[in-house]
Each structure stands twice: as structure tokens, then as C-alpha cells.
């Protein structure tokens, strides 16, 4: 695969669920939403060379989906169409979600960087590589119960750290 293709897939997979939800919120039918998502993914790939990597991918993708949805309404001459204010409200809701997710991700990254290397390695094995707990326990020469307990404590510590960081930054 070439570099553009890899980056496109990384970006699309990162926002896939949100983009599918956005498509559904526009057309209100599962079948139409699936078709809209697929058409959007194709257009995103065709126009990926025009994407500015300094900007966020999700709003660009939603803009393309929105334009395709409007085209969908025109082609089918729908009696009930979304008015501009409804489309704008949907866009605002998804943009707010983007901002919150970015804040949470930044807080998570900062919290992870504060953990000792063995703890980061344990989290990477379990969640980054999806290693089974039994294999992790074996690699660390520890019991499954001990590894499970440590992972639980690490998740709790990360959650608390994220909440504190978001509060300190003024997030709700």
C-alpha cells in the first residue's frame, strides 16, 4: 500500500463510527445511511489528495457526506427534506463531540506519559496489541488474577487523571 492509502485508511477508520452516525442522522434510513457512508468513503478517497493534513479530517468528511446527502434528496425529490437549520444543528452536535474527543485524547496521552514504563508496556500489550491476559501473565511470570488487578488499577488511575486534567482545563 502507498503512503496516501495508509493515511486515508487510518483517518477513515478513526472516524468511521461517527461518520456512519452522522450519515444516519442526515437520511434517517439505515439503508440510505449505509449507501451514503459508502459513497462518502469513495469520494473521500478520490479527493484525498485535496485534503489538508493541517486540518481535521472529520469535519471535511462530514462536509462531503452532507453534500452527498443533499444530492440524495434532490435525486429522489424527497417531499420531506432537511432544512438548513436542521443540518447546521447536526453539524454543531458532531463538531462539539470532535472537540470533546480531542480533549480527552490529549488528557489520556498526558496521563499515559506519567506512568512508569512497565505500566505503559502492560497497557500496550493488553489494549494496543489485544494480547490475552493469560499470555501477559505468562510473559510477566505473574498470575492472571494479579495482572487483571493491575490492569484494573491502571484503568482507574488513568480515568481519575483524565477527569482531573479535563477539570483543570475547564472541560465540563
Phi then psi for residue 100, to 5 deg, are: -65, -45
> Domain boundaries in the chain?
1-82, 98-172
Which pLDDT score, from 0 to 100, does residue 106 have?
A: 78
Q: Look at the alpha carbons of 37, 18, 25, 4 in this order and tell me if their dihedral is positive or negative.
A: negative
Which pLDDT score, from 0 to 100, does residue 79 have?
A: 40
* Residue 74 CA: distances (Å) to CA of 77, 118, 121: 5, 57, 53
**Which CATH number does the domain 1-82 belong to among 3.40.50.1370, 3.40.50.1260, 3.40.50.11540, 1.10.1740.10?**
1.10.1740.10
The topology (CATH level 3) of 98-172 is Arc Repressor Mutant, subunit A (1.10.10)
Separation of alpha carbons 48 and 113, rounded Å: 32
Separation of alpha carbons 166 and 148, rounded Å: 27
**pTM of the predicted model as reported, rounded to 2 decimal places:** 0.50
Give me the average pLDDT of each 10-residue run along the chain (172 residues).
75 88 81 90 92 86 89 64 58 59 75 86 79 90 92 85 82 52
Which pLDDT score, from 0 to 100, does residue 89 have?
A: 62
Separation of alpha carbons 38 and 125, rounded Å: 33
Amino acid at each position: 500500500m502507498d503512503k496516501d492509502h495508509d493515511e486515508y485508511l487510518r483517518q477513515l477508520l478513526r472516524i468511521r463510527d461517527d461518520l456512519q452516525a452522522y450519515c444516519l442522522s442526515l437520511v434517517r434510513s439505515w439503508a440510505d445511511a449505509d449507501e451514503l457512508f459508502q459513497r462518502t468513503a469513495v469520494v473521500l478517497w478520490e479527493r484525498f489528495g485535496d485534503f489538508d493534513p493541517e486540518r481535521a479530517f472529520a469535519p471535511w468528511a462530514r462536509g462531503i457526506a452532507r453534500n452527498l446527502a443533499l444530492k440524495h434528496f434532490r435525486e429522489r425529490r424527497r417531499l420531506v427534506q432537511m432544512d438548513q437549520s436542521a443540518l447546521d444543528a447536526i453539524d454543531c452536535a458532531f463538531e462539539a463531540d470532535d472537540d470533546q474527543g480531542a480533549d480527552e485524547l490529549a488528557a489520556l496521552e498526558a496521563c499515559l506519559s506519567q506512568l512508569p514504563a512497565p505500566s505503559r508496556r502492560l497497557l500496550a500489550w493488553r489494549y494496543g496489541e489485544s494480547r490475552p491476559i493469560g499470555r501477559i501473565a505468562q510473559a510477566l511470570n505473574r498470575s492472571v488474577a494479579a495482572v487483571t488487578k493491575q490492569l484494573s488499577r491502571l484503568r482507574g488511575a488513568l480515568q481519575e487523571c483524565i477527569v482531573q486534567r479535563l477539570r483543570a482545563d475547564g472541560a465540563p
